[in-house]
């Protein structure tokens, strides 16, 4: 159990960073005089006090983190930080005389930090600006992973970041360093993230969004989170130009940020385009959008231009696990909502802000299946699995196969748990897929025109667990539950 002490020390630092981030909604609340400024002051004080106590009391356990520490810290961070991120929501609604249960507050915080974008709140248009800002800002912080930011900062505090980065980074190919030091890598990735965020926010503002609306929807777009300050989501603006701008930035954010960093360092963007995962990601998203547009026109749902507008926007939004909506797509032919939901599992790249299986795993699985079919005809041939021109190591293939097994088992098990509570199969299955993929709206009772507020507290907790497991990519979370993890 001594292994937990160095982890708690770093967790204390993470809580202090979270407390500092509460200054943004605090300033907005104070400037706009929305009556809940005290909620942020209390939340900052409590979070900073707990974080500072952990940090100070664990100084004797200061040491370089080992792999097991990285797994423990990542898991604890995504479970504990939402507890404190939920405090401003809880206090804020108390000051508005609109009690918010702990279950709903924690779900909302987990949904934000994991960039899922599902919500249990209603009447978003009437909420104080600072509440909506905090909800959307949590997505931006969680988008690239709050631990990646910590990797860039914690070395200044004497905490090595290599094991944190490996545990947090999404996808099976985690060990390729972009720079000699992990801190430099994390700073480079956040530099790309901040640059893309700035460009997105300025574009929204230039195209007519009020400044604060542009800021909040930039947070939701670049993080592929999808939480909005309006019940109508992105449809509130009724602007084809804004929708296509959002599509552009969602496409950018769905690809591996490491490729952008490498391209900038080398001054040659061909490096990014040669990546097979990037080409596959953009091909699936754009091809899926064009197919949906054709299908909507073929079924006489919309005229050609409207079909193109709504088809591309919703396929890109759902498949990138963002979850913005402009139309209730449950009113479309039943094939398209299911098609988009399934795309949300595969259509983002590792190293992006999206959720799901990740395209690189799909490509490895397809290559492995192709190799097995060739072995039937040529059993003695040596046929390595390749991704582009690189040979994929056997341990990576085994890791992908293990992930897919756990991914499928998680969805089936949690869906069955929801159905045990008499939830209909469509709602249960889609709610779990949307949560595990960090996508947001599902189908049925949790569709785009509704919210997760229709679920019972137990059902919301099941979806909360699904979001956490999806964000941790299952294996990191489940490793903690195995006896071998805790053996010395």
* Band of pLDDT at residue 482, cut at 50, 70 and 90: confident
- pLDDT for 446 equals 94
Helix axes 425-436, 335-343, angle to 10 degrees: 30
Q: Which residue, 355, 328, 330, 327, is CA-closest to 110?
A: 355
Q: Terminus-to-terminus CA distance in the chain, angstroms? A: 10
Beta bridge partners of 390: 387
- Residue 271 is encoded by which pair of tokens? 């490096």
Q: For residue range 52-99, what is the model confidence (pLDDT) as tens digits?
A: 999 988 877 776 666 677 778 888 888 999 999 999 999 999 999 888
The dihedral region occupied by 112, where left means phi > 0, alpha psi between -120 and 50, and beta the remainder, is alpha
- pLDDT for 159 equals 47
pLDDT at 186 over 80: no
Output the pTM of the full model. Answer: 0.91
Round to whole Å and give the CA distance between 308 and 318: 16
- pLDDT for 398 equals 87
Helix axes 102-113, 87-95, angle to 10 degrees: 130
Decide if 428 contacts 418 (C-beta within 8 A).
yes
**Average pLDDT rounded to a whole number, residues 258-268:** 82
Round to whole Å and give the CA distance between 89 and 85: 8
pLDDT at 199 over 60: yes
- Tell me the three state secondary structure of residue 203: helix
* Band of pLDDT at residue 275, cut at 50, 70 and 90: confident
- pLDDT for 457 equals 95
- pLDDT for 157 equals 44
Q: Which residue, 331, 269, 342, is CA-closest to 299?
A: 331
- pLDDT for 177 equals 53
If residue 386 lies in a helix (H) or strand (E), which one and from where to where? strand 386-387
pLDDT at 328 over 90: yes
Q: What secondary structure does DSSP assign to 130-193, as a single string?
A: HHHHHHHHHHHHHHS-HHHHHHHHGGGGT---HHHHHHHS-SS-----SSSSHHHHHHHHHHHH
Beta bridge partners of 391: 386
**Average pLDDT rounded to a whole number, residues 259-280:** 84
Q: How many Cα atoms are found within 13 Å in the side-chain-facing hemisphere of 23?
A: 5
Give the ranges where 344-424 is alpha helix by DSSP (H).
359-377, 394-420
**Average pLDDT rounded to a whole number, residues 218-237:** 94
CA angle at 61 for the pair 55 and 66, rounded to the nearest 5°:
105
Round to whole Å and give the CA distance between 350 and 338: 23
pLDDT at 488 over 50: yes
- Tell me the three state secondary structure of residue 415: helix
Place of tokens 């998680």: 410
- pLDDT for 456 equals 96
In this prediction, what percent of the chain has a pLDDT beyond 90?
59
Burial-class residue 159 by CB neighbours within 10 Å (0-12, 13-18, 19+).
buried
- Tell me the three state secondary structure of residue 453: helix
What sign results for the dihedral spanned by CA atoms 204, 206, 210, 215? positive
Looking at per-residue confidence, does 175 or 458 come out higher?
458
Give the ranges where 254-303 is alpha helix by DSSP (H).
257-266, 270-273, 276-298
Q: Which residue, 192, 187, 344, 164, is CA-closest to 253?
A: 192
Mean pLDDT, the chain, integer:
87
**Average pLDDT rounded to a whole number, residues 202-224:** 96
- pLDDT for 392 equals 83
Q: For residue range 142-168, what is the model confidence (pLDDT) as tens digits?
A: 887 765 655 554 454 444 444 455 555
């Amino acid at each position: 159990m001594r292994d937990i002490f160095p982890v708690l020390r770093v967790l204390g630092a993470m809580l202090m960073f979270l407390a500092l981030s509460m200054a943004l909604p605090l300033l907005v609340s104070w400037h706009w005089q929305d009556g809940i400024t005290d909620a942020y002051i209390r939340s900052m004080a409590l979070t900073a006090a707990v974080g500072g106590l952990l940090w100070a009391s664990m100084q004797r356990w200061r040491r370089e983190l080992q792999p097991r520490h990285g797994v423990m810290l990542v898991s604890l961070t995504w479970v504990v930080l939402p507890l404190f991120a939920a405090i401003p929501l809880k206090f804020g609604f108390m000051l508005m005389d609109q009690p918010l249960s702990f279950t709903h507050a924690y779900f909302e915080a987990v949904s934000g930090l994991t960039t899922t974008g599902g919500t249990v709140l209603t009447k978003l248009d009437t909420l104080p600006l600072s509440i909506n800002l905090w909800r959307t800002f949590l997505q931006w912080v969680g988008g690239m992973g709050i631990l990646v930011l910590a990797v860039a900062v914690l070395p200044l505090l004497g905490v090595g970041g290599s094991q944190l980065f490996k545990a947090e980074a999404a996808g099976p190919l985690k060990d390729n360093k972009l720079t000699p030091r992990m801190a430099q890598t994390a700073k480079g990735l956040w530099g790309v993230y901040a640059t893309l965020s700035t460009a997105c926010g300025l574009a929204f503002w230039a195209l007519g969004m009020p400044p604060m609306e542009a800021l909040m929807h930039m947070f939701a777009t670049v993080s592929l989170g999808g939480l909005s300050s309006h019940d109508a989501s992105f449809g509130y603006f009724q602007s084809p130009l804004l929708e296509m701008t959002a599509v552009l930035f969602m496409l950018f954010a769905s690809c591996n940020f490491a490729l952008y960093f490498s391209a900038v360092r080398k001054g040659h963007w061909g490096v990014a385009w040669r990546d097979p995962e990037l080409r596959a990601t953009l091909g699936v998203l754009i091809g899926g959008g064009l197919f949906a547009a054709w299908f909507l026109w073929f079924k006489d749902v919309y005229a050609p231009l409207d079909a193109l507008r709504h088809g591309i926007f919703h396929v890109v939004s759902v498949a990138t696990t963002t979850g913005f909506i402009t139309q209730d797509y449950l009113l479309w032919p039943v094939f398209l909502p299911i098609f988009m939901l399934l795309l949300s599992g595969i259509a983002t790249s590792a190293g992006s802000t999206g959720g799901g299986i990740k395209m690189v795993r799909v490509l490895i699985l397809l290559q492995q299946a192709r190799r097995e079919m060739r072995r039937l005809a040529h059993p003695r041939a040596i046929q390595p699995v390749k991704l582009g021109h690189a040979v994929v190591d056997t341990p990576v293939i085994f890791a992908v196969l293990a992930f897919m097994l756990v991914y499928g088992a998680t969805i089936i098990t949690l869906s069955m748990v929801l159905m045990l509570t008499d939830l209909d199969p469509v709602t249960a299955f889609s709610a779990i897929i949307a949560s595990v993929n960090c996508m947001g709206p599902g189908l049925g009772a949790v569709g785009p025109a509704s919210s997760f507020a229709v679920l019972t507290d137990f059902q919301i907790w099941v979806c909360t667990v699904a979001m956490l497991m999806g964000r941790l990519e299952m294996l990191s979370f489940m490793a903690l539950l195995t006896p071998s993890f805790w053996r010395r």
